[in-house]
Amino acid sequence: MIDSPKLNTLLSIYKDAGVDEVISPTSHNRFREIEDTLPPAPLVLEEKKGPPIAPLISPKVAYATANTSAQSAQTLEELKTALMAFEGCALKYTATNLVFGDGNPKARVMLIGEAPGADEDRLGLPFVGQSGQLLDKMFAAIGLTRQEFYITNIIPWRPPGNRQPTPAEADACLPFVRRHIDLVSPDFLILVGGTATKTLLGGRDGIMRLRGSWKDYTSEAGKKMKVIAIFHPAYLLRSPGQKRELWLDLIKIKHSLINAGVELKNLL
């Protein structure tokens, strides 16, 4: 038993040390008391949002996937949906929009360019920028507008900085282009520039040698068509000295179309 003066001394020592509560007969979980004041933890951790990352797909798998997917499309709308779901071309992940096609899908003339630029990427339509405006003028000069032709590109997504698409990117998209040709089913194919020419005609020769003469082309589905390559309008903007060659090619195209009974507009 502690006598009262000693107890008083002891209590005042405790008091000076900051003790303000006597030990209770039941134990307290002080950590639990802190937890109870915290907001409840979320059940599912929130997903961090960032730019989508292109999956790594080998060129072989990309081509095989593109082939199966493109072949199953029975309409242009289905082909567009299949392209939107296609993961085999990383350009999709840096582009803003898919640029599918424009013009008359029932036309007898189909133009194929390289890849969208900045304006096309923004608007989701092919050939609407500076070179597209020149292309429209070139074809209007022989009586063809987008009511008389259909137009698309080898690559439906803009390559960053407008660089040329790589052969691997072109190969990955090729089954879709081939299906696109069969779904439009034109009689005349016009390849605009070196990339479209190389990708669809293959071989060693470039646009300088291949341009300006009609060749036979058999589509994937076996339809026979005439194909011709012309200079890309972007090249003509950089090298206006080549406009004469382009004019000769356009006149040749015009005569062939008239001979085949394609209706041309009198726009001049």
Binding interface with ligand URA (CB under 6 A): 113-117, 120, 126-127, 129, 131-132, 153, 234
Q: Which is nearer to ligand URA, 65 or 159 (CB)?
A: 159
User: What's the closest the beta carbon of residue 257 comes to ligand URA, in angstroms?
Assistant: 22
Cβ 99 to ligand URA, closest distance in Å?
A: 6
By beta-carbon proximity to ligand URA, the closer residue of 236 and 253 is 236
Q: In the complex, what is the shortest distance from the CB of residue 232 to ligand URA, in angstroms, rounded to a whole number?
A: 6
Pairing of strands 102-103, 149-153: antiparallel
Sheet arrangement for strand 188-192 = 102-103, 149-153, 109-113, 188-192, 224-230, 215-218
Closer Cβ to ligand URA, 65 or 155, answer by number:
155
Residue nearer to ligand URA on the CB measure, 126 or 186 = 126
Residue nearest to ligand URA (CB): 113
Contacts 24+ apart (CB under 8 A), 128-134: 130/234, 130/237, 131/232, 131/233, 131/234, 131/237, 132/233, 134/233, 134/236, 134/237
**Nearest approach, Cβ of 55 to ligand URA (angstroms)?**
26
